[in-house]
Amino acid sequence: MEYREFGRAKVKVSAIGMGTYYDILWIATSYILSYQLSKEDKITALKKGIELGVNLIDTAEIYDTESLVAEAIKGYKRDELFIATKVSPTHLKYDKVLKAAQRSLEKLQCSYIDLYQIHWPTPLVSIKETMRAMENLVDEGKVRYIGVSNFSLSQTKDAEEALSKHELVSNQVEYSLKVRDIEVNMLPYCDLNNIVILAYRPVAHGALANPSGKLKVVMNEISQKHGGKTPAQIALNWLLNKSKVVFPIPRASKPERVMENAGAVGWRLDSKDLTKLETEAG
């Protein structure tokens, strides 16, 4: 596994992480296709990732998977893992943040959370009030680092300014070959300021794992060039090439999928590959 410094946190974290949001797999036209994995499938997938050296695991209060993560990490050294979770946007009042964090700690069966993130911004609660609670959690040793999720650039800057003692280390947003909005201003800002981008939906709900048309042709060419890498591995490697602060967090759905995702590191697309992919993915 390849490890990178997690931005301002200055700790080594696996370049590829594991997401634990399992409810909706795919959205196509007017249909929502959902699928059910057994609890055992999910735990086995997470364990396989840890065994492969993936130490970044992302969950959230509203995913209802914190207890599942707790089961998956049993028997592994806690200080070798980097566990990230999120507080619901309905729990951003000062006291509610503290209570939500305690519930998450209990479900995770951990004494601390590595990265605690605000899941979504809300105009209903002052960011200063929320960040005061987040900093209190860091001071108490219950949280190591503070992050946000789904924040715009202006909201990210407001979150930074609301912190008085600790730094904002990350923003979790959608980012893939198919969804590149953050490249306009968010990614350049985070790259310049060493703020991590946790990229969710990095294979675009599976669309990049099963490409079509010209993108499929290009990915097949790149696959042959790089020893048979799969489309998903190519899509994840593309993200790793965009910036040192980008950490893709594909869903850990099945052991074989986690193994495939882990194969996205340890090699690099070249500039010609990147140009072809970006041209055809658009």
Judge contact between 22 and 65, C-beta under 8 A: yes
- Active-site position among 3, 35, 63, 94: 63
What is the Cα–Cα distance from 112 to 67, expressed in whole angstroms? 14
CA Rg, the chain, in Å?
18
Judge contact between 215 and 25, C-beta under 8 A: no
User: Is the sign of the CA dihedral 196, 150, 184, 280 positive or negative?
Assistant: positive
Q: Verify whether residue 94 is a known catalytic residue.
A: no
What is the Cα–Cα distance from 54 to 52, expressed in whole angstroms? 6
Write b or e for each residue in 81-119: b if 16 or more Cβ atoms lie within 10 A of its Cβ, otherwise e: bbbbbbbbbebbbbebbbebbeebbebbebebbbbbbbb
Please, which residues have CB within 8 angstroms of residue 275's CB and are 6 or more apart in sequence?
none
User: Is the sign of the CA dihedral 178, 240, 54, 106 positive or negative?
Assistant: negative
Give the catalytic positions in this structure: 63
